[in-house]
Structure 1
């Protein structure tokens, strides 16, 4: 059987590009070289490149092919490991769909929707999904005393200030008092022109992997997150300054509840491939925090640990993701 050419997409245009490169390396290492010709493809602001033996070859954006030593390489599927724009917000998905190349993430609309925290909350709220109280700020809005007083009444302190369209905790702050609010908003604006301010939810934080490779929605073992600090910050996520315990130290009733809610949200949002959904058990109930449609896959990341706990090899999971993407076209 002829081997299929698979492009592993990594990088991106935002702050998360280095994390994405690590995720891409995990996929590159795990895919079966006897079954696939695997190509490392960097999607960066400065250009799109296929990297072979340290050399960069330009991607032809007219058909997403690459010329290497007089040979034109086309791809059967793309394994999408990009965190942030353009690989997690729908732009790359729409482009690949237009030219007829499958990719392993959800489709462009679902990607755009879930990348926008505000819009995701708006979709899930009518279905009764528990979540924090929230307000929104756009760049240029007047952070007046009236706004601060209203925020104090609606949200209270402490609260979280987040970029609306960013991941990996870039630009996220926990704010304890009114005097620190504007500085936190300015930090978030460095990542996005829209900012989400959410009420603080006290309780156990968990993250749940979920996937569908064509044979139904499957939920992975729950991961409990114990940050070494106030919250699961960027530093805590990628510098080992947190405990990520799989399976989570919660009751079987809580495990069943959060896994069922994870499956329901995955279904409601019409997701595809591997995703990760985060919750906080506030007052005993799982409250939705956010969904990651291209979750981290590096050795420090949660999804690989959850697959291991489920007894599923990453090579098998990634292979099924690719095969399902090809069948969907």
Structure 2
């Protein structure tokens, strides 16, 4: 049997470059070398390269190939593990569509929409039993009246970049005086930002994937942070956040959230693996949508690998099923 050539695409143009490299290392370690030839391709704004033993080999962007020792290598599949642009926002997906190369993630349209938090909220808004926090979308080019914002929404508020794939640029604001600095911080990351009401409750993250033709909801993780919210530092600093997988959640609530997440996946026309983050509000028991992540982190301790293991599945089998499922589009 011929081995399949897999381009493991990592890096990207955002602040999560290093996180992406960690994801790629773990994926490469879990792809069966008897079945796949795995080539990790590092991309940034200046170069797309394959690091061979003694040299960096440039990727030919005309057909997405590399040439090693005068042998041209073409790829059967691109396994995208770029967080942020251009791997999470649809740009790479559009490029691969034009070249006819299969890939493991959502398509270009879904990737672009889900990268925009405000647009995603609009699409999932009417799903049964799923709630969305009241919010306002602001654009950098407009003048922002802090008093109008404060009158329209109830404090505390979350201020966050609308297109950020990560948690960079986020603030939690308790009063009007703190709003201008928070707006400035978020606009430093993005042209448009989202200001939304803070929902008090337990935070959960749940993976979902189409495996062997079936949509499988993974066991949820509860995220308990000693910080005010799950920001970049809380995500990547050991000890700041506790992650409990599988989460201790009532059986009826688990059934409810599985149905909601399945509907989110279908309604957004997702493919491959995605992760949905949400809050279970304390007073009401309602599920509030936070965001969809279409290229979730894949380092050994990331949430999806945790959830796959909690389900009793080998991470290597999970990735193999994702690769197999990428060919039927």
- TM tier relative to shorter chain: over 0.9
Q: Normalising by structure 1, report the TM-score.
A: 0.96
Aligned partners of 2:42 and 2:232: how far apart in 1? Answer: 23
C-alpha displacement at 1:170, in angstroms?
0.9
1:213-259 C-alpha deviation (Å, 9 max, x unpaired): 35121100010000111011111111121000011122111111111
1:182-204 C-alpha deviation (Å, 9 max, x unpaired): 11111111211110011000000
Counterpart check, 1:325 vs 2:329 = no
Aligned partners of 1:274 and 1:61: how far apart in 2? Answer: 26
> Is residue 143–residue 182 contact of structure 1 (8 Å, CA) maintained in 2?
no
Matches within 5 A, 1:271-290: 271-282=270-281, 283-290=284-291
How has the CA–CA distance of structure 1 residues 136 and 54 changed in structure 2, closer, same or farther, with 3 Å as cutoff?
farther
1:275-319 C-alpha deviation (Å, 9 max, x unpaired): 000000012111111000000111231111000100111111111
1:45-85 C-alpha deviation (Å, 9 max, x unpaired): 11111122363210000000001111110000011101111
User: Unpaired runs of 5+ in structure 2?
Assistant: none
How has the CA–CA distance of structure 1 residues 54 and 196 changed in structure 2, closer, same or farther, with 3 Å as cutoff?
farther
Aligned match of 2:32: 32
Total equivalences in the alignment: 325
Aligned partners of 2:24 and 2:81: how far apart in 1? Answer: 6
> Is residue 308–residue 315 contact of structure 2 (8 Å, CA) maintained in 1?
yes
Aligned match of 2:143: 142
> Is residue 133–residue 154 contact of structure 1 (8 Å, CA) maintained in 2?
no
Aligned partners of 1:62 and 1:93: how far apart in 2? Answer: 15
Aligned partners of 1:213 and 1:198: how far apart in 2? Answer: 34
Q: Normalising by structure 2, report the TM-score.
A: 0.96
After the TM superposition, list the runs of 4 or more consecutive aligned residues in structure 1 that deviate by more than 2 angstroms: 52-55, 126-129
Counterpart check, 1:187 vs 2:185 = yes
CA RMSD, 1 decimal: 1.2
Counterpart check, 1:211 vs 2:209 = yes
> Is residue 20–residue 296 contact of structure 1 (8 Å, CA) maintained in 2?
yes
Counterpart check, 1:292 vs 2:316 = no
User: Unpaired runs of 5+ in structure 1?
Assistant: none
